[in-house]
Chains A and B, each alone.
Chain A
Amino acid sequence: MSDRVRRILLLLAVATALADSSVVTLALPDILRQFNVQIGEVARVLTSYNAILALGAIPAAYLARRRPRQVLTTGIVVFGLASAVCGLAGNFDLLLGARCIQAVGGALLITAALELLSITDGEAPAARSWAAAGVAGAAIGPAVGGALTQLAGWEWIFLLQAPVALAALFALRGRTVHPAFRPRGFARHPHLPALSALTLLSAALTAALFLLVLLLVEGWRLEPLAAAVIVSVMPAAAFAAPRLGLRGPVAEAGVGSLLVAGGLLALGLLPGASPWWTVPPQILIGLGLGLAVTALTHAALAGRSPQAIHGGWTIAARHLGVVLGLIVLVPIFQADLDHERNQALQAGTAIVLDANVSPSVKIGVARDVVAVVDAADRRIPDINKAFAHRKMTPALEAVRSGLLDELDRAATHAFSRSFLAAAALALLSLIVVLVGRREIEL
């Protein structure tokens, strides 16, 4: 097996483990329905993985530093097997438990892969390809997860991860590692400005990677596949970011943070419920993600040794950021969803009351709408069901479209403050980059 193929297999496993923090986003509504849990509970599928990865990255890096090959093998096997258990989980608790073990495997895999790549390829090229794999994984995750959810079911997200991860074992076959020849950088302490900015930026990106997807699928009732196509704009923009020709980590990280803030601000000010409105903000966020996350990861690794440990710090910072984002943004979103639900209920009631239809039809529609709202159990109801068995007249069609419009407005507005809060986090990241610019430039 050539070195190139070995490298690709390893980086694919790294990207898969890092994609796992966001890959299930589009599957959350299906998981929520299958296991009959609330939004707050289902978010634990994301938070558990990210929290364990954040906590486990540094210890895993120390282990990887001692025995990179063994740690990588263990990480791949644990991650692969836990992924398979996630895919086959028959209840929510088992899924959560398997997600935690998957994160432990992920932490071992990601940090040991960096250590191994540093030994075989040299530190700078290894850091570059490893950081790029991380950005690609995070950016592609939601789109791939959405496509798999609709085409095969959410379980296949996990079931397909297992062979992708286990394939990386082939990269280790017949490979000898000589830890004695490891190059050494000049700094040992973690790069605090870069790591702080990375944490804040990852917290902000949580809104783009998780909440945008929820808005498309749960709020605007898009099929997961359609939502996957829409959110693929973000990774496409992230891949285009290096071609922008910005020079220097401060410029890349600063402009990237500003682009993410601008994109999130635009998402918080959506003027309509069409998915097309999300495209320009996604381009900004994707470009920002590609520029800033890569630049900050490079800055945190450049000239620092051991690479695995500093890589572990970047993983811890990123996933701590994701957890921070979920902790800050989900309660805002849930409170706003309750408020907007009430507003939409009142606006919808006004539409039915003022409708130009006979009183008996009003009563029937009102009963059906209330039944659909009650059945939705604090989630966004599918109003079309209330009209499914009715002979539609122009007046009734006006009621239906009026109710759908109010729902779209309520769903969009329910996400608004969360996106604005996320934009504020991205601006904080920009401030950290500007304050720590000298250290980042080094």
Chain B
Amino acid sequence: MIVLCALAVAVPAAYAAAGGGAYKPKAVADPCAPRPWKAQGGVSGLAAQLALSATDGAACRLHVSRESLVLALASRADLQAFGRAHDLDDKQIEAAMRDGLQRAVDDASRAHAIGTLPAIILGQAVQRLPLDGLLRALQGTTLNW
């Protein structure tokens, strides 16, 4: 009887010690923490890294994960649903996306992935593009989810 009682306690204890409680989906990275610039070759590789950096920046500003923002960028309807879920209006999302794209341009410039003049031109474009244009900029360059 004592052996059985001990087993009833020992098995779950062993599972907990083996990391049982922590076996769950991995947490996603903090978008506000800096990530290394690892652009692959070519224009598309650069554009992909720019978009990743931009979504990091926008997600950081909105206090959401980069991944949830990327999933929201699948379509205008998804973005609106995302706004409703996080109590964000279009202006807040637009401002965050401009911030994110500006951060991406700055990151690329710091990593010498783009020159000074292209960085200035891209920075100006980021400040002037309308929301749909920003959306297309992010979707079209990399991840059309």
B25 in contact with A363 (CB, 8 Å)? no
Is B44 touching A360 in the complex (CB atoms < 8 A)? yes
> Could you tell me if B12 and A349 are in contact, using CB atoms closer than 8 angstroms?
no
Interface size on A (CB < 8 Å)? 46
- What is the CA–CA distance of A360 and B143 in the complex, to the nearest angstrom? 8
**A413: interface (CB < 8 Å):** yes
Which among B20, B29, B65, B141 is the interface contact of A269 at CB below 8 angstroms?
B20
The smallest C-beta distance from A80 to any residue of chain B, in angstroms, reads 40
Measured in the bound complex, the distance between the Cα atoms of B65 and A246 in whole Å is: 55
**Is there contact, CB below 8 Å, between A262 and B68?**
no
CB proximity of B37 to chain A, nearest CB, Å: 13
Count contacts between A and B, CB distance < 8 Å.
126
Given A259-B4, A259-B7, A344-B44 contact (CB < 8 Å): no
Partner of B7, one of A262, A345, A406: A262
Q: How far is the CA of A288 from the CA of B106 in the complex (A)?
A: 64
Chain A residue at minimum C-beta to C-beta distance from B40: A358
Proximity string of chain A (138-171) to chain B, C-beta cutoff 8 Å, 1 when within and 0 when not: 0000000000000000000000000000000000
A413-426 interface code vs B (CB 8 A; 1 in, 0 out)? 10010000000000
- As a 0/1 sequence over residues 227 to 271 of chain A, the CB contacts with chain B under 8 angstroms (1 = contact) are 000000000000000001010000100010011011101101111
Whether A280 sits at the interface, judged by CB under 8 Å, is yes
Name the B residues within 8 Å of A344 (CB-CB). Answer: 25
B21 touches A367 (CB 8 A): no
- 0/1 interface trace, chain B 20-50, chain A, CB 8 Å (1 if under): 1101111111000000000010001101100
State the Cβ distance, A102 to closest chain B Cβ, in Å.
36
Please give the distance in Å from B67's CB to the nearest CB on chain A: 4
Contacts of B28 in A (CB 8 A): 346-347, 349-350
Cross-chain contact B15 with A269 (CB below 8 angstroms): yes
Q: Is the CB of B16 within 8 A of A269?
A: yes
Give bound CA distance, A183 to B127, whole Å.
93
Asked whether A340 lies within 8 Å of B25 as measured between CB atoms, the reply is yes
Interface pair A343/B24, CB less than 8 Å apart: yes
**CB–CB A349/B71 < 8 A:** yes
CB–CB A255/B70 < 8 A: no
Instruction: Using A262-B8, A271-B20 as known contacts, say yes or no to A359 and B44 having CB atoms under 8 A apart.
Output: yes
B23 touches A413 (CB 8 A): yes
**Besides A350-B29, A350-B67, A353-B66, 8 other CB < 8 A contacts?**
A270-B23, A346-B25, A346-B71, A347-B26, A362-B143, A366-B145, A367-B145, A413-B25
- Sampled A-B contacts (29; CB under 8 Å): A244-B4, A255-B8, A258-B4, A262-B7, A262-B11, A265-B12, A266-B12, A268-B12, A269-B16, A270-B20, A271-B18, A271-B23, A345-B67, A346-B71, A347-B25, A347-B28, A353-B66, A358-B40, A358-B44, A359-B44, A359-B141, A359-B143, A362-B143, A370-B145, A406-B26, A409-B23, A409-B25, A410-B24, A413-B25
